[in-house]
Chain A
Amino acid sequence: MKRPGGSVLWLALPIVAVVVFTLLLTVSLQRMIRIEADMRVEAEQNMLWVMHESEAAARRLREAALLAELDRAQEADIALRLDILRSRVALLNEGPQRRFVERIGLGEDLDQLTTRLETVAPQQMTPAQLQASLALFPPFFARAANKTMIAEWDELGERLESYRGQLQKTIVALIGVMAAGAVLTAALVLALRNSRQHNRMLRRARDFSGLLIASSGEGIAAVDATGQCTLWNDAMADLVGQPAQQAVGRSLSDVAGFFAIAAVRDRLADALAGEPGQLLLRPLFRDAGEVPIHVDLRAFPMRDETGIVGAILFMQDASDRHAAERRDAELRERLEQLVVERTRELDDALRRERSAADLYRNFAAMISHQFRTPLAIADSALQRLIRRGNRADANEMAERATRARSAIAGLTRLVESTLDAARIEAGEVGARRERCDLVPILADVCEQQRAATPDARIRVIVREYAPALCDPAYAEQVLKNLVSNAVTYAPGGSEVSVTLDLDCQGLHCEVTNGGAPIPLSDRARLFERNFRGANSTAAPGTGVGLFIARTLARMQGGDLVLLPGDGETVFRLTLPQAEGTAP
């Protein structure tokens, strides 16, 4: 900006001026003090008056002596005049006066007069003698006065000349002082002007940076080293919902809860320790309950030449970005879900494929196992009929034929249910949902079961009842399966109970028998397709009954579960209650 030579000159000039100023002022002061002292001392000598008084005293004494000659003076008067003259001479002989007399060259004359005065004795002298002896005194004092005047004027002239010289030097010194003062004043004025200009530039720079901060769309806040807020721009006020008046001068964590969060506090502390940091997409709640905005926060330390003086925070509303990211995340999640679903579907398809293959592969084995008994029953009934021939009466014939038909019907059901399972698995079966009364269906099922197994004891209990929302055919099939299982596995003709009940989850139908408990290991797999429990191997069955039953129950919006418990086995079918039939 400025040449270094210039600034050195501007620094040196005032210093030189101050030194010159001080020196000249000291010199002139010393000079003036000397003049003042001279004036005081010199002005106190007044020898001309002393000489005049002495001459007057001498003349008065002579006058008295003359009067005495005429007998007109008293002795006392002469004595007084003589004493006064003596006192004058004594005065002249004293220190300062004596020295002056010697300086004007009358010392010896004064000595002679002093000696003469000592010999004057009015009592022993005639007035004429007295007068004669005093004759020399007045001329001496007149001469002395003359010389004194000349000497004093000479001295006065010299002194005035000396004063003039001193004063001239002092005037020159004072002119120098004024010049130095002028230089100092000029330097001061220039320095002031520079300082004002500098201030103006600083102010302009500050105003500009203030404008920058104020017009920034980004929230800007600054804190000092103690964490007190010193700056809070409009964008920050909008973001946080607190005006600058509320923020400046307070600790940030008091301004808004957002700044009291540990992560934000840590970033601020790091920035004050010299470590810049940022936080992305932090939720910022302006009011409790309101949907938060999401902000990016960056914190930087502020340094000057002495070190860290504070920190500055930039905050940006990143809600749009946050929303976009969330949309992306949701999309990704949906895609993943879709993939999972498709994978599962594919897996299911594959498994169905495999099951079908298994079904067909096992069909022969199943037929050999499941079909053998009914076929044997039918065969033996028919053989008996043939053997009995004509001996058989109509009753016996009907009885044996019915047995055979019943075995064949069982076979037909077996085939149907196997096909049902295959169809369900293939997803070909859909359920109707209609209002449906379970009580007649249940009665029908029990009747059929009793026909099939006349020994079976089945008890139906209706505790609380309402119509269900279901497919009646499927409901019948499920119930048939459950009752038939219960009867099959009920030990030694013990009673099977079927209970209808109602609660908030829907309509329940619990089928209970006192059969041997199902082993824990089997319970979990009981509803799997083609699973046959450890105790079921002796009984006829395909292993698909419970699987189909549960699948059908679920298709109707209900469920089929095995309730936990010892001593008895309870299967519970739950079906949704029909609308408008709340108890």
Chain B
Amino acid sequence: MRSRAAIFLVTSLLAAPLEAGDAPPVLRVTGTIAGGVVEFDLETLRDLPQTTLETSTVVTDGRHRFTGFLMRDLLHKVEARGDTVTATALNDYVVEIPVSDFRDYDVIVAYAMDGKQLERADKGPLWIVYPRDDHSELQDIRFDYRWVWHLSGLDIR
């Protein structure tokens, strides 16, 4: 009973932006979450607490300021229960990320770099960014492949 009520509540909450705006969804979250499947458009994602992170990356020169939301806020919002997040990209790139990463580090999902919105023709609209410069252990290729750009789906297990 309780779980059904919770699902109803979440779907009713989430239904609002989906119905109100006609913006296309950019992120599809599936797996062990409330409601089973949730799709987000960019506007809804922007409503999440905004955070910024300044770091270098392995594919660009210099440091950049990324704006987005914390991955753990999103997981909290969808009431995710699981240990692994499988991230998929528009270019069919797939990688498994342990949920502990989001607990241990302030990993964000960025939608803007240096104040400019990330475009799909570049690395947008969503890019998983690790605080690489703040933690030396993150300066490792085993973390580098978790920087998923063109992020389009998250499956939580």
Within the complex, the shortest CB–CB distance from B94 to chain A, in Å, comes to 13
Contact assessment for A53 and B91 in the assembled complex, using a CB-CB cutoff below 8 Å = yes
**Does more than half of chain A's interface fall in helix, strand or loop, or is it mixed?**
helix
The one of B59, B120, B140, B141 in contact with A91, judged by C-beta atoms closer than 8 angstroms, is B59
Least CB separation from B93: chain A residue: A53
Q: How far is it, in angstroms, between the C-alpha of A57 and the C-alpha of B150 when the chains are bound?
A: 13
Tell whether B123 is near chain A: CB-to-CB under 8 Å.
yes
Query: Considering the complex, which residues of chain B in the window 120-157 have a beta carbon less than 8 Å from any beta carbon of chain A?
Result: 120-123, 139-141, 144, 149-150
The one of A45, A57, A87, A95 in contact with B122, judged by C-beta atoms closer than 8 angstroms, is A87
Chain A residues near B119: list those with CB within 8 A: 83
Contact assessment for B60 and A94 in the assembled complex, using a CB-CB cutoff below 8 Å = yes
Tell whether A356 is near chain B: CB-to-CB under 8 Å.
no
Question: Which B residues lie at the A interface, using CB under 8 A?
Answer: 58-62, 90-91, 93, 119-123, 139-141, 144, 149-150
Contact assessment for A94 and B61 in the assembled complex, using a CB-CB cutoff below 8 Å = yes
Query: Considering the complex, which residues of chain A in the window 30-47 have a beta carbon less than 8 Å from any beta carbon of chain B?
Result: 40, 43-46
Q: A53-B91, A90-B121 are known contacts. Are A84 and B150 too (CB-CB below 8 A)?
A: yes
Chain B residues near A94: list those with CB within 8 A: 59-61
Tell whether A150 is near chain B: CB-to-CB under 8 Å.
no
Contact assessment for A96 and B91 in the assembled complex, using a CB-CB cutoff below 8 Å = no
Least CB separation from A117: chain B residue: B121
Contact assessment for A83 and B120 in the assembled complex, using a CB-CB cutoff below 8 Å = yes
Q: How far is it, in angstroms, between the C-alpha of A84 and the C-alpha of B139 when the chains are bound?
A: 26
Tell whether A80 is near chain B: CB-to-CB under 8 Å.
yes
B interface footprint on A27-69 (CB within 8 Å = 1, 0 otherwise):
0000000000000100111100000010011000000000000
Q: A83-B120, A86-B121 are known contacts. Are A96 and B139 too (CB-CB below 8 A)?
A: no
Contact assessment for A87 and B60 in the assembled complex, using a CB-CB cutoff below 8 Å = no
B91, B93, B140 pick with most chain A CB within 10 angstroms? B91
Least CB separation from A91: chain B residue: B59
Chain A interface size range:
20 to 34
The one of A43, A57, A87, A97 in contact with B123, judged by C-beta atoms closer than 8 angstroms, is A87
Contact assessment for A96 and B58 in the assembled complex, using a CB-CB cutoff below 8 Å = yes
Q: A43-B141, A44-B144, A57-B91 are known contacts. Are A83 and B61 too (CB-CB below 8 A)?
A: no
Chain B residues near A45: list those with CB within 8 A: 58
Least CB separation from A79: chain B residue: B120
B interface footprint on A76-100 (CB within 8 Å = 1, 0 otherwise):
0000101110110011001111000
Chain A residues near B59: list those with CB within 8 A: 91, 94-97
The one of B62, B93, B121, B144 in contact with A83, judged by C-beta atoms closer than 8 angstroms, is B121
Chain B residues near A95: list those with CB within 8 A: 59-62
Q: How far is it, in angstroms, between the C-alpha of A91 and the C-alpha of B93 when the chains are bound?
A: 15
Chain B residues near A90: list those with CB within 8 A: 121-122
21 CB contacts below 8 A, A to B, read A40-B140, A44-B58, A56-B91, A57-B91, A82-B121, A83-B119, A83-B121, A84-B90, A84-B120, A87-B120, A87-B122, A87-B123, A87-B150, A90-B122, A91-B59, A94-B59, A94-B60, A95-B59, A95-B60, A96-B58, A96-B59
Chain A residues near B144: list those with CB within 8 A: 44
Within the complex, the shortest CB–CB distance from A381 to chain B, in Å, comes to 167
Supply 7 further A-B pairs (C-beta < 8 A) apart from A44-B141, A84-B90, A91-B123: A46-B141, A53-B91, A84-B120, A87-B121, A91-B59, A95-B62, A96-B58
